[in-house]
Copies of this chain bind each other. A is one copy, B any other.
């Protein structure tokens, strides 16, 4: 399809599409003349993802470009490809290494992951920004005087394991590995707020069940 048709089908203005092309968030179309290029379904899909990252995830253009570079890197194994793209998304703050609570928090996170048997997370450790932001969150709990309850976290983590099985089943409904990774990134950006809403609604239901309205 031509640029105008890509714009029509995606609902994104041609000016915005040209901007994404210039910023290399969207790969160039196939040249068919000096002034025209041809775009395909892959461009339409990528455009959808770029909008999710920029408009909903509010990622800076440079960050979005980094995420997409990992999505497109076919030299990586699937777990690393997916992981690298997820790692490039914005995260919570890194732990404050000068704070006395950080060392304790790091030990607690290691204990939690050992208890769970999450070998990959243990192996990657602080290399992963997700791990670092988990350590920072636990350290914050400590600093504010809220004890970190490992048994509670273990139960919640077991529940997240079930959710991850559904997430990956969902991912596997897409045909190609590229589409699977694209979709996993979109769902990290788009579904997290939605899951937190469902969590709060579920708490309301359970509260009404236990104590009435």
Residues of A within 8 A of B (CB): 10-11, 48, 51-52, 55-56, 77-80, 82-83, 86, 91-92, 113, 118-121, 124, 128, 130-131, 133-134, 137-138, 140-141, 143-146, 149, 152-153, 155-157, 159-168, 170, 184, 186, 188, 190-208, 210-213
Known: A133-B193, A198-B160. A204 touches B83 (CB 8 A): yes
User: Cβ of B160 and Cβ of A10 under 8 Å apart?
Assistant: no
Contact A48 B144 (CB under 8 A): yes
Q: How many copies of this chain does the complex contain?
A: 2
Starting from the known contacts A80-B213, A157-B198, A159-B166, 11 additional A-B residue pairs (CB-CB under 8 Å) come to A56-B140, A78-B207, A118-B202, A119-B205, A128-B201, A128-B204, A133-B197, A138-B194, A156-B195, A156-B198, A192-B199
> Chain B: which residue is nearest A177 at the CB level?
B211
- Selected A-B contacts with CB under 8 Å, 23 pairs: A52-B146, A56-B140, A78-B211, A86-B203, A86-B204, A91-B197, A119-B208, A120-B204, A121-B205, A130-B201, A130-B204, A131-B201, A134-B197, A137-B193, A149-B170, A156-B195, A161-B202, A161-B206, A164-B202, A165-B206, A168-B210, A192-B199, A195-B199
Report the separation of the CA atoms of residues A98 and B168 in the bound assembly, to the nearest whole angstrom: 35
Give bound CA distance, A197 to B164, whole Å.
12
Residues of B within 8 A of A204 (CB): 79, 82-83, 86, 120-121, 124, 128, 130
| Shortest Cβ gap from A169 to chain B (Å) | 9
B168 touches A79 (CB 8 A): no
Q: Which B residues are in CB contact (< 8 Å) with A210?
A: 168
> Considering the chains assembled together, what is the distance between the CA atoms of A197 and B137 in angstroms?
9
